[in-house]
Structure 1
């Protein structure tokens, strides 16, 4: 009896210690992620401008596209970390829309067609149904597929085979949402999984114990993140070795059919206004009025506030061809500049010395002479309380 109690205590303490270590590790990653966000924006934005330039030679365009693709990939990994923190805090929300899953899956599949051809990997998409409506958060399922396909190509040797398949089924053991389901699988011809891996692959920061895994760079969050997103869809996800005589593994996840399991506020229509337009509307900026002033030849004054010189100069150079741009390096300078020059709009960073962006907003909104001026806050912070502070 004493031995049993001692074993339980040791297990609890070990589990608690592991959770503390993972929490500390996540905090460290997120702190680094916030620092990387601004430099990555400085890389991606100029690249997108160059990609839109018709005068760039074709051979350079191919290099630029590769640079852009990998830069966006880094930013996607950063966003995964931030999303995991939102999930842990209970503030992560999904928006479900009815989607033809067959057509939708072609998007992430096409991203790997060129890689498959280059490495002589047989890459197939098997589905017996031509069209299948499923209620999903499109961005989330796209990330799940990218993670699973990325893993499959990472661990599959050249001249191997990868297959994405879609099957519909009924699970009589399930009385909940997964009674009627769609199953999406990604199979490969890699080394397969160790028995210990299949139980822990979806744990946060866990990485498989095989030669290929030790040679590849990763944080061990991709599968955990995918598991979170699938579970938020009321689905399940698993990993197993192939049983058809071929070496390799199969990662599959199931999603419910229909939308009776969803809350009314989680359901949106495909025609709904995009997030970008929503943010513009909420900001209170009269864009039509600004465009009117711009087209009539009037000079619109924009005040840009940021303590990062690279970001400050980039925003200034991006706007100076169309607007009269003023710059400041902290909220205190910006407050004085606003009172003296009365800009039409202010674009400000949040974290700055002397007076930060939130303090600047409060100071401006408390002054009747400048309280009408719209303000756009730029920040890598995405927590709900951070957004509320900026409103």
Structure 2
């Protein structure tokens, strides 16, 4: 009150505070509306009579941007701002000046307690996520508010009303609730293989969220693409169609007639959405989802997004269920196939034993009874048949034993064994084969402190397989077999200095039928069961087997067995040692049975027999010797060298061989003009039309599958020879100097485009100088392109000719150098410079050629390999390849020829 108020009569009766004209000032829409209200007709009376506290409170409400409401007096007369007007929707502006209990009658039961508590206790109340029913968009809407009620004080300090602040949290509440429902659906999917059970579980999860999903139905596609009802929730399944042709059929379902209610206020559900269940990545739909729409929420963008997420969850679960069911079906089919295969192998192996017995027994009896009375040729034939029959018997026995182990029908019969003596004897079985291969076999098996309980026949297979494998894959050095006692048993190690095993092959090395691809070996023969059988036999003894290997340095196989307890007093007899050795080393050339060429009354020509099986070479030699001069080679590289040294009339080669196989040999022969016209006949164990077509496509003259009739082979060789001689007779006579193979004709370089000439030409270099020490040297740099090979060939040929190198030797060195340069062009990855540098020197007849690229070595696939370049290079000279961070250098050294 102003100091002079008492001097003016009646001034003390006029309420202080904002002037009447300023109470509703501030520019708000609700302020203008309240200024127009006839407040005299309300319980609070004319504005001029309002206390200052009410005027200030109204100004505070109108100035706030938060939804705020003020009630005054016992009649709860309302004042509110623009934010609150938006919340109550259609009730505005009639609610201005009205009784809160009337305008919010439907919510008064929820609001009365907190409001009266705040006014009575003068302590504010807090209500989070209060559900309120509002009609602000033409329908009864489900909304949520966080509300705080506080007392409003009059001028006398007493509670005169209520002051409330509201915040709508409807979007947050709905988002959290829908997220929980999506998680429930995801958890219901799980890992189920029955998609109908999955649909039932999904609907059970959807039933926990009726405010967002009043009802739902899951339809799944059948084999004909039609939709079949799988599960429902919130609705009588009989009211929905059992089948549907597609989404339009489901969209036509009369939702209003289903009798479903929804939302927090229990109103009829009249709308639904139909969602496809997509198979993902453009796949065929796996079903459809029919979902009811809450009558208390508008189908806005957020509601539609929730439906899309829901459909994605269900579709993903159905796809996973079908994939899981498919995998299980495939696994069961594979298991059934495996069982059928196991049964088949067991039956076949048993059936093979009878004819094998009737083959081997008469042959063995004939050899024993006839003795020296047999002619040498007949004796050799019978020995050959017996040895290979025994080899087949071993393969059959291994297969049968492996199948029996897999079927669980085989158990180890352990007996107390002097394992050191037995192991030494078994390793010694292969000593002769190792020595004939140029290897040393070291056996270190000192006596053990106690006998070991093992099945002798199984231990024999373990030792012989490991040692035979070592001989097969070792070309230089030796093999060491050690047996020693360890803490809880014995440990056998078989170490070699062989080719080693790549690291990526080690995990699958003991798997059945697994074979290391492209690994050098003495033979390609084998079933891939040897190491798998070793693991199974060791497992039957409660032991372990492992391997350590470094490519190029060798491998070490380690077998550990417990001491064990005997199961029997003695073991059945085993196979004679000689039989076991012959069965394990089909590539071995025994000097006692080396093939000897026979004198022929009619010599048709020279045939080069190429096969990695020594017995096959021996047999073919005896078969062909009466009419042919026979030469032999154990693999493709040896055959290639023999062919270039002296051309045969026919090459008769096997297909599957270690190193350079039959197709590689054929390719190399056809690529060299000097050997291009040599007829090639292939023998192979790959029968069938496709195999023959592959051979003829590769350029073979004839193709004969094994086993073959000897008369047919002789007839085909004669026909091939006659065709080849007929072709040569039709050609003009060769020039006088054609006594050696001519250099390979280079393909014409591509025609350079404008501006390319400088790039394709080799860098200029001075003429080779002759230093004081008499050596000749030159260095050339060529672009890393195929067109650089012809100029390299010309320069190198001229340089070697000037240096006085023999023409034949120069030809071989040029061919090897061009192969090295071609490899540098094709293998160099990400070169620092796109060039190939060639350095050549000739010193006292010794030639050294170094080919260097600036990239990292990159292996090619076998289909890209044009001519087995490294094998061609090594056929003519000593070749070393040194990769490094600056590139790879291939050095070709040809020593000075001996006088």
Instruction: Give the alignment's TM-score, normalised by structure 1.
Output: 0.56
Which residue matches 1:253?
559
Which residue matches 1:39?
355
Which residue matches 2:483?
166
Which deviates further from its counterpart, 117-126 or 42-51? 42-51
Equivalents in 2 of 1:86, 1:227: separation in Å?
A: 14
Which residue matches 1:97?
415
**Alignment CA distance shift 1:55-1:90 (3 Å):** same
Equivalents in 2 of 1:112, 1:91: separation in Å?
A: 31
Alignment check: 8 A CA contact 2:421 2:445 kept: no
Which deviates further from its counterpart, 128-137 or 226-235? 128-137
Q: Provide Cα deviations, 1:88-123, integer angstroms capped at 9, x if missing partner.
A: 222212211111111111332222121112111111
Alignment check: 8 A CA contact 2:481 2:495 kept: yes
Which residue matches 2:510?
202
Match of 1:229 among 537, 557, 569: 537
Equivalents in 2 of 1:137, 1:246: separation in Å?
A: 35
Equivalents in 1 of 2:477, 2:494: separation in Å?
A: 14
Q: Provide Cα deviations, 1:256-287, integer angstroms capped at 9, x if missing partner.
A: 1142xx6xxxx1113x7879xxxxxxxxxxxx
Which deviates further from its counterpart, 246-255 or 209-218? 209-218
**Alignment CA distance shift 1:125-1:223 (3 Å):** same
Alignment check: 8 A CA contact 1:197 1:209 kept: no
Which residue matches 1:185?
493
Equivalents in 2 of 1:217, 1:11: separation in Å?
A: 35
Alignment check: 8 A CA contact 1:103 1:131 kept: no
Question: CA offset at residue 223 of structure 1?
Answer: 1.3
Alignment check: 8 A CA contact 1:194 1:209 kept: no
Which residue matches 2:195?
none
Matched, 1:88 2:396: no
Equivalents in 1 of 2:528, 2:376: separation in Å?
A: 35
Question: CA offset at residue 248 of structure 1?
Answer: 0.7
Question: CA offset at residue 219 of structure 1?
Answer: 2.1
Matches within 5 A, 1:178-327: 180-212=488-520, 216-241=524-549, 247-259=553-565, 267-270=567-570
Equivalents in 2 of 1:100, 1:52: separation in Å?
A: 33
Q: Provide Cα deviations, 1:116-158, integer angstroms capped at 9, x if missing partner.
A: 121111111013436752111001110111211221121111x
Question: CA offset at residue 25 of structure 1?
Answer: 5.0
**Alignment CA distance shift 1:187-1:22 (3 Å):** farther
SS in 1 for 2:428: helix
Alignment check: 8 A CA contact 1:100 1:131 kept: no
Q: Counting helix residues as a fraction of each chain, which structure ranks higher?
A: 1
* Cα RMSD (Å): 3.6
Matches within 5 A, 1:33-72: 33-53=349-369, 54-56=371-373, 67-72=385-390
SS in 2 for 1:117: helix
Unaligned 5+ segments in structure 2 are: 1-185, 192-319, 575-899
Q: Provide Cα deviations, 1:6-39, integer angstroms capped at 9, x if missing partner.
A: 6995987887676566555545544543443233
Matched, 1:141 2:447: no
Which residue matches 1:175?
none
Equivalents in 1 of 2:486, 2:328: separation in Å?
A: 39
Equivalents in 2 of 1:160, 1:18: separation in Å?
A: 44
Equivalents in 1 of 2:521, 2:331: separation in Å?
A: 25
Equivalents in 2 of 1:224, 1:207: separation in Å?
A: 11
Matched, 1:155 2:473: yes
Equivalents in 1 of 2:328, 2:498: separation in Å?
A: 36
SS in 1 for 2:372: coil
Match of 2:435 among 117, 142, 166: 117
**Alignment CA distance shift 1:134-1:150 (3 Å):** same
Report the number of matched residues: 256
Which deviates further from its counterpart, 4-13 or 190-199? 4-13
| Higher RCO structure (Cα 8 Å, ≥6 apart) | 1
Equivalents in 2 of 1:63, 1:114: separation in Å?
A: 22
SS in 1 for 2:364: helix
Instruction: Give the alignment's TM-score, normalised by structure 2.
Output: 0.26
**Alignment CA distance shift 1:32-1:268 (3 Å):** closer
Alignment check: 8 A CA contact 1:22 1:205 kept: no
Alignment check: 8 A CA contact 1:101 1:131 kept: no
Alignment check: 8 A CA contact 1:113 1:123 kept: yes
Q: Provide Cα deviations, 1:324-383, integer angstroms capped at 9, x if missing partner.
A: xxxxxxxxxxxxxxxxxxxxxxxxxxxxxxxxxxxxxxxxxxxxxxxxxxxxxxxxxxxx
**Alignment CA distance shift 1:49-1:71 (3 Å):** same
**Alignment CA distance shift 1:11-1:194 (3 Å):** farther
**Alignment CA distance shift 1:169-1:140 (3 Å):** same
Equivalents in 2 of 1:195, 1:148: separation in Å?
A: 19
Unaligned 5+ segments in structure 1 are: 171-179, 276-391
**Alignment CA distance shift 1:121-1:21 (3 Å):** farther
Alignment check: 8 A CA contact 1:102 1:131 kept: no
**Alignment CA distance shift 1:29-1:91 (3 Å):** closer
Equivalents in 1 of 2:517, 2:536: separation in Å?
A: 22
**Alignment CA distance shift 1:152-1:274 (3 Å):** closer
Equivalents in 1 of 2:471, 2:350: separation in Å?
A: 29
**Alignment CA distance shift 1:246-1:216 (3 Å):** closer
